[in-house]
Structure 1
């Protein structure tokens, strides 16, 4: 994991962990993984799962995932034309 990803994960985790200070780190990570729907072993859990879950944890269910919203097209025709390189 790159240094900036460690910093991002800590920055996102800190306020959420403060809400439940009685949990140890592994309990908090396990709770976040379960909330995100992750069913594998914790040692296989990627930082991406935690980062995206923490970013979306307190958002509206209809809100788009950060990073995808910038590429979203409201109109199917525009999306096809942009994908084919006809418009930019």
Structure 2
């Protein structure tokens, strides 16, 4: 599982880092953490913060988080019926 997360992080980081090649890796990570609103110690920064921020970095402010979008229902009635197992 860790290898998958590392690969995903590198895949997301690579194009964004190429836009600012003058930054070293640590500077880029600090910049991303600040953009994401992370206020803790850098040593406590999780890969989840970086991954989700990189996924959402170039999206509109009202865009849904990718992992949540697949479960979203436009209609409340359909959502209730699906949650109760009445419809698939």
TM-score by length of 1: 0.91
SS in 1 for 2:28: helix
SS in 2 for 1:32: helix
Superposed CA deviations along residues 1-36 of structure 1, whole A, max 9, x for unmatched, are 611111111111111111111111111111101111
Unaligned runs of 5+ in 2: none
1:35 match = 35
Whether 2:75 is the aligned partner of 1:75: answer: yes
1:53 match = 53
Superposed CA deviations along residues 36-84 of structure 1, whole A, max 9, x for unmatched, are 1111111111111111110110112222111111100001111112112
1:11 match = 11
Moved over 3 A (4+): none
TM-score by length of 2: 0.91
Provide the aligned length of Structure 1 versus Structure 2. 88
Unaligned runs of 5+ in 1: none
